[in-house]
Copies of this chain bind each other. A is one copy, B any other.
Amino acid sequence: MALRKLRGGMVGGGTGAFIGPVHRMAATLDGEAEFVAGAFSRDPKKSKQSGEEMGLDPSRVYGTYEEMAAKEAKLPADQRVDFVSVVVPNSGHFPISKTFLEAGINVICDKPMTTTFADAKALQKIVKKSGKVFALTHNYTGYPMVKQARHLVQSGQLGKINKVVVEYPQGWMSGMITNPGNSIGMWRMDPKIAGGSCCMGDLGTHCENLVRYITGLEIEQVCAELTAFVKGNRLEDDGNVLVRFKGGARGILYASQISAGEENPLAIRVYGTKMGLEWKQEDPNYLIVKDPGGFQTRYSKGNNNLCKEAQAAARLIWGHPDGYIEAFANIYREAFKGIRALNAGKKIPVCDHPDATDGLIGVAFIDALLASNKSKSKWTKMKV
């Protein structure tokens, strides 16, 4: 039988935004959902216009998210949005998510989850109390080969994990003269909007999430140095971190926005007593497994030799590249499982998407980095 299309709403993501359209494509890729409502901008006029461009019913295009939450909550169950995508800068994540969850509406939210640890703790509780689905778009874990990496590590094929190197260098802020028109991310340098961190909140948290997703290892302590190279940046645009994981593994984690010429090469290398592995976001459909005996084996997406999670996460067979949108769509697909279960009056099943706990850990991670950096890179415990 056909599944009813879920009805989505969006806060943020109006005309000209980068991540809004990604959410719209990702949520609707499989024909499982459609967007019917939104508060696309803090400027009501701009919000209206964006809604119009998307062909929405004007009565469902709101001037503020508060209005949207209030009015949507009052709509009959067969009209009301099933979920809201929160795609605004960091400082909006908490109040908006809170508002919709308390209005009984499921939330898919951008990361980092909040700008303070207190908010993250509070939101985790609100999610729990609401009984609703809350998904955080650490989208990189949606890639099929990340799931295969997780499978290889967690099924013990690498042996005991001793070392992890995870990196996320970007270069778009380098010089900050070469890209004069690139104003799309300027809010990231504003503590009022971004929170206490620029680079590590934006990129470093993806690293932390990716390591934990693949290895299951939890960070115990960090030793961090954060630097602002861009003139006038009050937050860091580069961060280098030594990591101690619980259980004895050691690691390096770094992120950067001033690594000139780098685009988006998030990458992870995991080394166990038996084998190593490597995955790179810019070449996402492959996973390299390194055998100390002299072989490196490349697994590729869409083949039957992969674990079932990796197979399920691929939309196309081998050699037909799945991209960023498809990985992002996998986060949505998992969130939709939970939403459909709730809609059917069932319990939320185990879904393979980052949630409020992941969000909390991410914020705790940022806090630990900030504390370590402040204390001249002293080893600092992560407190969750």
Contact = CB atoms under 8 A, between A and B. Distances in A.
A298 B295 contact: yes
Interface string A341-365: 0000000000000000000000000
Given A162-B238, A273-B260, A55 B4 contact: yes
A275 B259 contact: no
A158 interface: yes
Interface stretch (A83-91, A112-120, A174-182): A174-182
A258 B271 contact: yes
Interface stretch (A70-78, A189-197, A301-309): A301-309
A283 B302 CA distance: 15
A318 B294 contact: yes
A99 interface: no
Interface stretch (A24-32, A39-47, A205-213): A24-32
Interface in A293-339: 293-300, 302-306, 315-326
Nearest to A319: B264
Given A174-B292, A294-B318, A323-B323, A252 B252 contact: yes
Given A162-B229, A258-B163, A260-B275, A223 B377 contact: yes
B276 A171 contact: yes
Interface string A260-289: 111111000101111110000111110001
A323 to B, nearest CB: 3
Given A171-B276, A294-B304, A269 B260 contact: no
Given A250-B227, A321-B284, A274 B260 contact: yes
A142 to B, nearest CB: 12
Given A24-B31, A252-B254, A326-B325, A174 B271 contact: yes
A55 B1 CA distance: 8
Given A171-B292, A263-B300, A163 B29 contact: no
11 contacts: A2-B55, A165-B167, A174-B292, A178-B293, A179-B292, A225-B244, A261-B292, A261-B296, A296-B298, A297-B297, A298-B298
Interface of A: 1-5, 18, 21-22, 24-25, 28-31, 52-56, 158-159, 162-163, 165, 167, 169-172, 174-175, 178-179, 181, 223, 225, 227, 229, 238, 240, 242, 244, 250-252, 254, 256, 258-265, 269, 271-276, 281-285, 289-300, 302-306, 315-326, 376-379
Given A258-B271, A260-B273, 11 more contacts: A2-B52, A25-B315, A31-B54, A165-B254, A223-B242, A227-B250, A240-B242, A260-B276, A282-B321, A284-B321, A377-B379
